[in-house]
């Protein structure tokens, strides 16, 4: 049972758990304290000094880091506090690139909102505006130090949550910047392109490398057959860009919007997710039966794959050779679909809408061009799709619900749950019994692998064969599990790893919610609800029962794991150095 202390905040008696901060106590009492660098469970260091409060003895302290104590008297609002906060904010703005109208975060910028809240009308302290080069060499992430406010959120998420360590604070005082070691471009670091730095950044210092104009150009090219596929997590978050509550499923409106943008066909990546389960499940069964390399580890998350290539090259053989659903679908579209529709594959332009910035990197991997053409030509994020819809003047909220196109339109509930942590595992476990015995297990909802716990386990017994599985999300958690496997402390047959905390629903390409929302709402859980709602509404919920996938095997691939399947649907990985040698 928690111990409580009693303190006074702005003359109001407040009870708070022992160990809580003044910020938490004030929030529980309905008292607002402005913040900038603070982000719950990620960055709680009091660096920006915007949340300063008077705790007595002429002492101003950062409320986000100062602990409550019995009898503490706190003042959050006085002329001196307001002026101190305003001066601090003006000093931050004095060295900030204030091109707000053209900034990617205009109207969704926490610094902009704070300036309005604190009534900053003039910048009294025009500082020396240092100009830093923009790092845009990465295929996924652009870094603009000129807009950085040194809040260190990106550093915390990269180092503490993801354990990647691609960026940190360098130099001191006025010369401090967030940069990579040795000032390398992100492209030359062990950055995995997950984009978690983007979604925690309060300003426009980090954003995805846009492919919007390339997609517009392709749509305007009459010589191209431009098709689009959408990942399951996109439908769970796109509505946020148009005013819908977090966790609203907008599948039908999303399809309608894509058709109005001019795509020749609108397909569901869930179909390829079903195909992935057939290939990956078969691979798991074969490894178990033939004493192959175990554990088999999922390969759907490109951020995780690159992390493994950098940090665990000795475990690359443990990775499933299956392409991710995105690239598996691209290969299908430029082979099976091209033949079926009588279209030259060189004229098929595949666009993916993904919740993930790492998918941009993945699409450019030279290994992913098994038809002689890139599996996927361009990747846009959920945010970029919203931008295109707005740019086209489409009234999203009043669109009718429309269906994905044939002949690739039908997917299963198993395909859609790929968007949440545990989803790939659950989809696989729904089909593995059938792949082993030809019979379905009665249990279709495998809830033990659902939820946002750091680590989850499941055990399945089929025909006397025990399959022990594990699920982790967030690369810091993946590192802990893989270290245990390396040392022999843990043994599993099958492991699902998703790079982003919560899985794809919380990917680096999803709508950006400010700290005021993130501190109160678990985006991972709310968006995942939409994923599971769609699964439950589906008539078919097991991948091996998808009639479109079965027809693909009958007409083209023969069977899961066939020679043709391996040529088009599987790939290989490469060990990577962390930094260039010179």
- Helices then strands, counting H and E runs in the chain, come out as 20, 17
Joined together, the tokens standing for residue 122 give 């003039």
Task: Indicate the angle between helix axes 382-391 and 212-220, nearest 10 degrees.
Answer: 50
C-alpha angle 350-356-360 in degrees, rounded to nearest 5: 50
Residue 22 Ramachandran class (φ > 0 left, ψ -120 to 50 alpha, else beta):
alpha
Check: CB of residue 67 under 8 Å from CB of residue 21.
yes
CA-to-CA distance for 38 and 151, rounded, in angstroms? 8
CA-to-CA distance for 275 and 546, rounded, in angstroms? 9
Predicted pLDDT of residue 582: 57
Check: CB of residue 167 under 8 Å from CB of residue 179.
yes
CA-to-CA distance for 359 and 354, rounded, in angstroms? 7
Check: CB of residue 349 under 8 Å from CB of residue 224.
yes
Check: CB of residue 51 under 8 Å from CB of residue 33.
yes
Predicted pLDDT of residue 579: 82
- Using DSSP's 3-state secondary structure scheme, residue 356 falls into coil
- Using DSSP's 3-state secondary structure scheme, residue 422 falls into coil
C-alpha angle 29-33-36 in degrees, rounded to nearest 5: 140
CA-to-CA distance for 390 and 397, rounded, in angstroms? 11
Distances (CA, A) of 204 to 102, 104, 354, 379, 396: 10, 6, 20, 21, 25
Measuring CA to CA, which residue among 355, 273, 358, 352 is closest to residue 307? 358
Residues of the chain with pLDDT under 50: none
CATH 3.40.50.1780 fits 212-569, yes or no: yes
What residues have CB less than 8 Å from 468, skipping those under 6 apart?
Answer: 457, 458, 459, 491, 492, 493, 494
What residues have CB less than 8 Å from 74, skipping those under 6 apart?
Answer: 7, 8, 9, 10, 22, 25, 26, 53, 54, 55, 63
Joined together, the tokens standing for residue 317 give 């053989």
CA-to-CA distance for 182 and 167, rounded, in angstroms? 10
Instruction: List the domain boundaries for the chain.
Output: 4-77, 92-208, 212-569
Q: How many CB atoms lie within 10 A of CB 357?
A: 33
Q: What is 92-208's CATH topology?
A: Alpha-Beta Plaits (3.30.70)
Can you give the three-state secondary structure of 325-378, one letter per residue? HHHHHHHHHCCHHHHHHCCCHHHEEEEEEECCCHHHHHHCCCCCCCCCCCCCCE
Q: What's the half-sphere exposure (Cβ side, CA atoms, 13 Å) at 131? A: 0
- Using DSSP's 3-state secondary structure scheme, residue 97 falls into coil
455-462 β-sheet, strand order: 296-297, 494-498, 465-473, 455-462
* Full-model pTM: 0.96
Name the one residue in this structure whose structure tokens are 């019994």.
Answer: 433
CA-to-CA distance for 386 and 388, rounded, in angstroms? 5
Name the one residue in this structure whose structure tokens are 């652009």.
Answer: 142
Q: What is 4-77's CATH topology?
A: Ubiquitin-like (UB roll) (3.10.20)
Q: Which residues are catalytic?
A: 280, 283, 300, 320, 359, 362, 367, 504
CA-to-CA distance for 62 and 253, rounded, in angstroms? 44
Predicted pLDDT of residue 458: 93
Distances (CA, A) of 280 to 62, 140, 298, 496: 50, 27, 8, 12
Joined together, the tokens standing for residue 358 give 């790492």
CA-to-CA distance for 536 and 22, rounded, in angstroms? 43
CA-to-CA distance for 371 and 333, rounded, in angstroms? 10
């Amino acid at each position: 049972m928690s111990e409580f202390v009693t303190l006074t905040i702005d003359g109001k008696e407040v009870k708070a758990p022992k160990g809580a901060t003044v910020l938490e106590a004030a929030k529980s009492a309905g008292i607002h304290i402005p913040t900038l660098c603070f982000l719950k469970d990620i960055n709680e260091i009091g660096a920006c000094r915007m949340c300063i409060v008077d705790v007595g003895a002429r002492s101003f302290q950062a409320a986000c880091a100062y602990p409550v104590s019995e009898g503490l008297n706190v003042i959050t609002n006085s002329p001196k506090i307001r002026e101190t906060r305003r001066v601090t904010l003006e000093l931050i703005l004095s060295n900030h690139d204030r091109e707000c109208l053209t900034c990617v975060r205009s109207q969704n910028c926490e610094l902009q909102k704070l300036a309005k809240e604190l009534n900053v009308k003039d910048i009294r302290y025009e500082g020396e505006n240092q100009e830093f080069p923009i790092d845009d060499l990465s295929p996924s992430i652009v870094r603009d130090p000129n807009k950085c406010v040194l809040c260190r959120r990106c550093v915390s998420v990269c180092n503490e949550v993801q354990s990647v360590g691609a960026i940190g604070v360098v130099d001191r005082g006025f010369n401090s910047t967030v940069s990579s070691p040795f000032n390398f471009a992100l492209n030359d670091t062990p950055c995995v392109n997950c984009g978690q730095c983007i979604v925690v950044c309060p300003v426009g210092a980090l954003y995805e490398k846009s492919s919007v104009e390339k997609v517009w150009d392709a749509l305007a090219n009459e010589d191209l057959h431009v098709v689009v596929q959408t990942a399951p997590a996109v439908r769970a978050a796109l509505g946020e860009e148009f005013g819908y509550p977090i966790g609203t499923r907008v599948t039908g409106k999303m399809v309608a919007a894509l058709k109005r943008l001019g795509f020749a066909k609108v397909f569901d990546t869930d179909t390829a997710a079903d195909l992935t389960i057939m290939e990956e499940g078969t691979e798991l069964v074969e490894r178990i039966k033939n004493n192959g390399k175990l554990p088999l580890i999922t390969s759907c998350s490109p951020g995780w794959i690159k992390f493994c290539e950098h940090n665990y090259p000795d475990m690359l053989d443990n990775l499933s050779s299956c392409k991710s659903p995105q690239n598996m679908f691209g290969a299908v579209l430029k082979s099976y679909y091209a033949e079926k529709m009588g279209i030259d594959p060189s004229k098929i332009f595949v666009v993916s809408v993904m919740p993930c910035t790492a998918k941009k990197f993945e699409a450019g991997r030279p290994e992913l061009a098994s038809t002689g053409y890139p599996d996927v030509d361009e990747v846009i994020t959920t945010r970029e799709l919203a931008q295109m819809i707005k740019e086209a003047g489409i009234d999203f909220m009043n669109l009718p619900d429309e269906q994905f196109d044939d002949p690739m339109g039908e997917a299963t509930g198993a395909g859609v749950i790929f968007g949440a942590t545990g989803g790939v595992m659950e989809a696989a476990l729904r089909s593995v019994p059938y792949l082993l015995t030809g019979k379905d297990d009665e249990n279709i909802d495998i809830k033990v692998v659902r939820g946002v716990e750091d680590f989850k386990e499941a055990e399945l017994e089929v025909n006397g064969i025990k399959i022990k599985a594990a699920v982790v999300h967030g690369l810091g958690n993946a590192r802990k599990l893989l270290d245990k496997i390396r040392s022999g402390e843990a043994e599993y047959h099958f492991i699902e790893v998703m790079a982003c905390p919560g899985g794809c629903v919380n990917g680096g390409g999803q709508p950006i919610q400010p700290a005021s929302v993130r501190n109160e709402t678990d985006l991972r859980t709310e968006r995942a609800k939409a994923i599971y709602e769609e699964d439950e509404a589906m008539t078919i919920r097991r991948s091996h029962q998808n009639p479109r996938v079965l027809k693909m095997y009958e007409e083209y691939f023969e069977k899961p794991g066939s020679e043709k399947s391996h040529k088009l649907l599987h790939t290989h990985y490469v060990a990577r150095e962390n930094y260039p040698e010179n």
